[in-house]
Amino acid sequence: MNSLTKPRRWESFFWPVIAATALLALWHYSVIWTATKVFPSPLSVEKGIAELLHKHVLWADICDSLRRVALGSGAAIIVGIPLGLFLGWKPAANQVVNPVFQILRPISPIAWIPVAIIFFGVGDYAVIFLIFLGSFFPIVVACVSGVSSVPPVLLSAGRNFGLSTPRLLTRVIFPAALPQILVGVRLALGIAWLVVVAAEMIAVDSGLGYLVIDSRNSGKRYDLVVAAMLMIGIIGLALDFLIRSIEKNKSVRWGFRNAS
């Protein structure tokens, strides 16, 4: 990206703040103009957040949702990355399992909710299983793609130095494929955060998803509903920012430079 199109440092903060302020203003005046008694104003949502904090509800629900995402997506990373590296390294094995993956991958994790409840009952295990399913396939696909795109010159150099297959995988292939793997992890985390909110509305009695549906059903507290929705969006943004920060690390981005 040249200097004419690359944003300045201050612009990366200034314009998002302006956009958020404009959105809040539009929201505030839309509620005034429509004189709605149902949809809350930003001030009402702020009071709702304060109420949730005062009752020690919000942090507990946030922690429950993050814990489920960490367990489900963590299991997907632990299983998916080695499997993806293996399938990328062994194209013949990938051809065998790829049709099964392509059948299962388009199925929404939400569609698995009845099956998860049958297998695990109503509780954390069902939600974690759904998060695992939603995270697993993007990670495996990204790993296979990353390994397949490793420049052959790197493999030849590793073999010339006498690296065994395990050391070639860990010291050459995995670092070179890591940028694409992190893209898959970022997509998986986004899906996991969507899945946990939807699953918590059905399968558990805690978490931000449960807070949304419980606030709706208990007195139609739409200020608390929107407050929970804002928390969901903010945390999702924070998770995406975290992975993007890792992607920008110099020790990670060498794979892009070598690939080019």
Query: What phi, psi does 202 have (nearest 5°)?
Result: -120, -45
pLDDT tens, 213-253? 988 887 788 888 998 898 998 998 898 888 888 877 766 65
pLDDT tens, 184-222? 999 999 999 999 988 998 878 889 999 999 888 877 888
Report the pLDDT value the prediction gives residue 257, as an integer from 0 to 100: 47
Report the pLDDT value the prediction gives residue 87, as an integer from 0 to 100: 92
Total domains, the chain:
1
Of residues 60 and 258, the one with the higher pLDDT is 60
Report the pLDDT value the prediction gives residue 203, as an integer from 0 to 100: 78
Give the mean pLDDT of 122-135. 92
Where in the sequence is the domain holding 209, given as residue range(s)? Answer: 39-259
Query: In this structure, is residue 104 part of a structural domain?
Result: yes
Query: In this structure, is residue 197 part of a structural domain?
Result: yes
Q: What is the chain's mean pLDDT, rounded?
A: 85
Query: In this structure, is residue 8 part of a structural domain?
Result: no
Report the pLDDT value the prediction gives residue 42, as an integer from 0 to 100: 87
Give the mean pLDDT of 7-27. 78
The yes-or-no verdict on residue 258 having pLDDT over 80 is no
Amino acid at 77: I
Query: In this structure, is residue 154 part of a structural domain?
Result: yes
pLDDT tens, 161-187? 887 888 888 888 888 888 889 999 999
Report the pLDDT value the prediction gives residue 256, as an integer from 0 to 100: 45
Report the pLDDT value the prediction gives residue 10, as an integer from 0 to 100: 64
Report the pLDDT value the prediction gives residue 259, as an integer from 0 to 100: 41
Report the pLDDT value the prediction gives residue 167, as an integer from 0 to 100: 84
Query: In this structure, is residue 82 part of a structural domain?
Result: yes
- Residue 99 corresponds to which tokens in the numbers above? 């049709």
Q: pLDDT tier at 138 (50, 70, 90 boundaries)?
A: very high
Q: Give the Cα-Cα-Cα angle 29, 62, 56 (nearest 5 degrees).
A: 85
CATH number at residue 223: 1.10.3720.10
Query: In this structure, is residue 55 part of a structural domain?
Result: yes
Q: pLDDT tier at 1 (50, 70, 90 boundaries)?
A: very low
Lookup result for tokens 């429509």: 34
